[in-house]
């Protein structure tokens, strides 16, 4: 759907959101926010974060990160995010009631396709479906594969950083802060590659093994005990989660909440690079400290971009092998060029990437991306336009993404 008559595509990411909605109803225990940072030709999109202590400030930062992400990948959507202050020990029925009620409250924006809710932290595909149902819409979509594709692009960024520093897989030690869905997928990729995951944490603590954690045993423990897996008996040492940051890893991967990496943690980090699967993981002071220590910080809104690019390709019929090749080759090559340019210019990778996001938004605003190309690619029979077949659209999108990734930082 093209809503361009209703909303102009922005040419750059602004500092302030377009608008915010707060839902606060003590009678049913519902408290949440929807922050729309920008609106593109196809509306805006962003996940719904479900955490007991989520607040407006966190949602606002995440919405802006989504705006940067869609601009960087030249997708005609604006950035948005929602958050519900929700206890995690609710029964299934209690949870569904709150999700459906939130969907009803934001229903006009969902029905008009201005805002597209998506999965996020503690928010599964089933949860997203309840929100759509509350808005009065039945949607048949797979929101759960977003975590897998976010982990795939994160792994590609991690591998690119290792290549940049000429670190062989066997010498590449990695720590993951926040071993949730993305972190578990990532851990599997690291082990398959030959790298060593030497530490991982949850909100309950951390588990470390400097010879390398057995990822299979870790995943099994997670499935048994959830976040408490770090206290399970296994071939690891259970430590305070703060200990994770001083292990002397080569690459650290934040997969946790906004601003989980503070300046104090940055001071204790002893690694070559930080490749966040999380959005906005660093405080401004932490970013400055990492730059002072010459620790490369790859921007999260780029690293986890697989979460928005991968599902669309898969839904169009792309195979896992094709999507993996896109990220490991084209995306990984782009990350290496970004790191090289950052070292050459002295500018942070985040600043360089934000500039490219604004370049992408300008191209979208000028109609140079997507809309005009689709018009030229339309299939005609006897002069009559018909819908482009899904595989043709998939190949077009793959070609578009390869060209985009190969162009960035070249």
Is-contact 234 217, C-beta < 8 A?
Answer: yes
Residue 91 sits at the vertex; the CA angle it makes with 31 and 216, to the nearest 5 degrees, is 105
Q: What is the CA radius of gyration of the chain?
A: 21
Residue range 350-371, pLDDT digits in tens: 999 999 999 999 999 887 665 5
Predicted pLDDT at 9 = 54
Instruction: Flag whether the pTM goes above 0.85.
Output: yes
What would the 3-class secondary structure string for the chain be? CCCCCCCCCCCCCCCCCCEEEEEEECCCCEEEEEEECCCECCEEEEEEEEECCCCHHHHHHHHHHHHHHHHHCCCCCEEEEEEEECCCCCCHHHHHHHHHHHHHHCHHHHHCCCEEEECECCECHHHHHHHHHHCCCCCCCCCCCHHHHHHHHHHHHHHHHHHHCCCCHHHCEEEEECCCHHHHHHHHHHHHHCCEEEEEEECCEEEECCCCCCHHHHHHHHHHHHHHHHHCCCCCEEECHHHHHHCCCCEEEECCCCCCECHHHHHHCCCCEECCCCCCCECHHHHHHHHHCCCEECCHHHHCCHHHHHHHHHHCCCCHHHHHHHHHHHHHHHHHHHHHHHHHHCCCHHHHHHHHHHHHHHHHHCCCCCHHHHHHHCEEECCEEECCCHHHHHHHHHHHHHHHHHHCCC
Same domain, 284 and 387: no
- Indicate whether 51 pLDDT > 70: yes
Predicted pLDDT at 371 = 52
Same domain, 216 and 338: yes
Question: In the listed set 144, 162, 197, which residue is the last one of a domain according to the structure?
Answer: 144
Same domain, 49 and 129: yes
265 vs 314: CA distance, rounded Å: 37
The answer to the question of residue 6 being in a domain is: no
Predicted pLDDT at 215 = 98
- Indicate whether 5 pLDDT > 60: no
Is-contact 186 277, C-beta < 8 A?
Answer: yes
Same domain, 175 and 306: yes
The answer to the question of residue 268 being in a domain is: yes
pLDDT band at 201 (very low <50, low <70, confident <90, very high): very high
Average of per-residue pLDDT across 129-145 = 89
Residue range 82-127, pLDDT digits in tens: 999 999 899 999 999 999 999 999 999 999 999 999 999 999 999 9
Same domain, 81 and 47: yes
Is-contact 63 46, C-beta < 8 A?
Answer: yes
Neighbouring C-beta atoms of residue 227, cutoff 10 Å: 16
Q: Which two tokens stand for residue 81?
A: 């995010």
| Percentage of the chain lying above the pLDDT 90 cut | 86
Predicted pLDDT at 143 = 80
Any residues with CB less than 8 A from the CB of 178 and at least 6 apart, and which? 201, 202, 254, 255, 256, 257, 260, 278
162 vs 209: CA distance, rounded Å: 20
Same domain, 303 and 174: yes
When the pLDDT of each residue in the chain is averaged and rounded to a whole number, the result is: 92
Average of per-residue pLDDT across 377-384 = 42
Closest residue by Cα to residue 255 from 241, 267, 268, 271: 241
| Residue 119, domain CATH | 3.40.50.10860
Predicted pLDDT at 383 = 42
106 vs 171: CA distance, rounded Å: 49
Question: In the listed set 144, 179, 206, which residue is the last one of a domain according to the structure?
Answer: 144
Same domain, 168 and 260: yes
pLDDT band at 138 (very low <50, low <70, confident <90, very high): confident
Predicted pLDDT at 391 = 83
Same domain, 139 and 162: no
The answer to the question of residue 13 being in a domain is: no
87 vs 29: CA distance, rounded Å: 10
Strands of the sheet with 237-239, listed across from one edge = 237-239, 205-208, 196-202, 173-177, 251-254, 273-274, 296-297
Same domain, 243 and 388: no
Any residues with CB less than 8 A from the CB of 382 and at least 6 apart, and which? none
The domain tally of the chain equals 3
Same domain, 333 and 379: no
- Indicate whether 268 pLDDT > 50: yes
Same domain, 119 and 194: no
Is-contact 182 147, C-beta < 8 A?
Answer: yes
Residues spanned by the domain of 377: 363-407
Residue range 149-196, pLDDT digits in tens: 999 999 999 999 999 999 999 999 999 999 999 999 999 999 999 999
Is-contact 290 266, C-beta < 8 A?
Answer: yes
Same domain, 178 and 108: no
Q: Which two tokens stand for residue 373?
A: 């190309």
The answer to the question of residue 3 being in a domain is: no
- Indicate whether 130 pLDDT > 90: yes
Question: In the listed set 93, 111, 144, which residue is the last one of a domain according to the structure?
Answer: 144
């Amino acid at each position: 759907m093209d809503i361009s008559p209703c909303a102009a595509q922005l040419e750059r990411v602004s500092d302030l959101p377009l608008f915010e909605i707060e839902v606060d109803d003590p009678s049913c225990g519902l408290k949440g926010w929807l922050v729309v940072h920008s609106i593109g030709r196809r509306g805006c999109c962003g996940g719904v974060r479900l955490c007991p202590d989520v607040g407006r400030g966190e949602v606002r930062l995440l919405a802006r990160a989504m705006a940067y992400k869609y601009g960087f990948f030249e997708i005609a959507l604006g950035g948005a995010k929602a958050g519900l202050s929700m206890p995690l020990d609710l029964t299934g029925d209690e949870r569904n009631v709150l999700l459906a009620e939130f969907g009803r409250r934001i229903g006009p924006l969902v029905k008009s396709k201005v805002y597209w809710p998506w999965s996020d932290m503690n928010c599964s595909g089933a949860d997203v479906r309840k929100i759509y149902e509350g808005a009065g819409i039945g949607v048949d979509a797979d929101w759960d594969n977003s975590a897998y594709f976010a982990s795939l692009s994160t792994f590609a960024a991690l591998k690119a950083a290792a290549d940049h520093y000429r670190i062989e897989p066997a010498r590449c030690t990695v720590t993951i802060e926040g071993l949730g869905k993305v972190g578990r997928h990532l851990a599997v990729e690291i082990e398959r590659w030959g790298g060593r995951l030497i530490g991982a944490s949850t909100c309950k603590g951390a588990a470390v093994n400097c010879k390398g954690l057995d990822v299979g045993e870790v995943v099994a423990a997670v499935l048994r005990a959830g976040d408490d897996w770090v206290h399970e008996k296994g071939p690891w040492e259970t430590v305070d989660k703060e200990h994770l940051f001083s292990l002397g890893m080569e690459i650290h991967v934040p997969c946790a909440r906004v601003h989980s990496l503070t300046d104090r943690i940055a001071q204790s980090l002893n690694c070559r690079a930080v490749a966040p699967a999380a959005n906005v993981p660093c405080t401004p002071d932490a970013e400055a400290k990492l730059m002072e220590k010459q620790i490369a910080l790859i921007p999260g809104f780029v690293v986890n971009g697989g979460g928005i690019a991968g599902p669309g390709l898969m839904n169009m019929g792309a195979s896992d092998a094709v999507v993996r090749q896109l990220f490991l080759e084209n995306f990984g090559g782009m990350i290496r060029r970004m790191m090289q340019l950052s070292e050459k210019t002295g500018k942070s990778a985040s600043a360089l990437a934000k500039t490219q996001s604004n370049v992408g938004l300008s191209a979208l605003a000028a109609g140079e991306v997507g809309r005009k190309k689709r018009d030229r690619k339309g299939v005609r029979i006897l002069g009559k336009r018909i819908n482009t077949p899904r595989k043709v659209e998939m190949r077009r999108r793959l070609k578009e993404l390869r060209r985009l990734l190969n162009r960035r930082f070249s």
